[in-house]
Structures are given as structure tokens and as C-alpha cells.
A = this chain, B = another copy of it.
Amino acid sequence: MFLLNDLPNDKALSNFVKDFPNLEFTSVSAFLRIVRLGSIYLEKLDKLLGQYGITHGRWITLILLKRQKNSQKLPSELAKQQGVTKATISGLIKLLNSEGYIERSSNQSDKRKNIVILTKKGDDLLNNIMPAYYEFVSDLLKSLNHDEQEVLIKLLDKLI
């Protein structure tokens, strides 16, 4: 979370420029806005998902499972795709399992592996959440028209 409410204004930055002549004003502005907006959105998302008793970490795990044809995956695959450590996935899976949103089963051919399966209950939860999520997102982005959104996506893709 990086919610810095008072982004530096021109005056504040120009005070810094005095001391740090290598400051590129627009880069810093863009950087701060990206980090701040990302944090604002993430906080709002967690608030929305909280209404369904879930966090964004657990929600993404469920989505990754649903994306899969047979709705199953290895924990280590989930970790890689989700961008978290295996330790974190281990905890997420334990919770999701105890809540009945996923099930686990072992792999015969390789006993180290551990298959995670989305349950009916997990799928139902996603079916409840997703419409609200899509509404939430289109509401957040509604101050940009379609063309502006396309431009934004292109610019962000250059950075990612």
C-alpha cells in the first residue's frame, strides 16, 4: 500500500530540484500516480471482496482455477501465475480448503505433487462475485472513454 495523499506539487518538486538536479519531473509524476492509483484500486477491490468474505489473494487463486479447463492445478503453478511465493500459496490453499472453496488431491505418478480443484461452492462464489467486480471496475474506469482506455492500456503495456 502506497497511498501518499499529498503528491508533491510543482513547488514541492522544484524545491527538490534545487538539491537534486537529475530529477525528471514528468517521470516522477507518472511513477507516483501509477503507484498511488494502483494502491487505491487495490484497497477498493479488497473492500469489495470483503463483502463476500474473501481477500484478493484467495479470489485470484479461485479465478486461476476457473480459468483452467478442468478447474485444477498444482500449488506451485498457482504461485507462479499469481506472483506470490509457494509459502503464501500454501496458506491460501489451506484457508480456501477449510472454507470448502477448493479440494485437494494427491498425484499418483509424482507423490510430491498436490492437485487443487475448484469445488462447486468455489465456482458459485465466483459466479456471485464476478458481476459485482465487473460493475465495480467499469465504474472506476468510467471517467475515461473507450479510446482513452485503449491509449492507457497501450502506454501501460509498454511499461509492464
Give the B-binding residues of A (Cβ under 8 A). 1-6, 8, 12, 15-16, 19-20, 22-24, 26-31, 33-42, 45, 56, 60, 64, 67, 80-84, 127, 130-131, 134-135, 137-138, 140-144, 146, 148-153, 155-160
Contacts and interface: CB of A to CB of B under 8 A. Distances in A.
Contacts of A15: 67
B158 A144 contact: yes
Contacts of A143: 158-159
A31 B3 CA distance: 17
Secondary structure of the A side of the interface? Answer: helix
Copies of this chain assembled into the complex: 2
B36 A37 contact: no
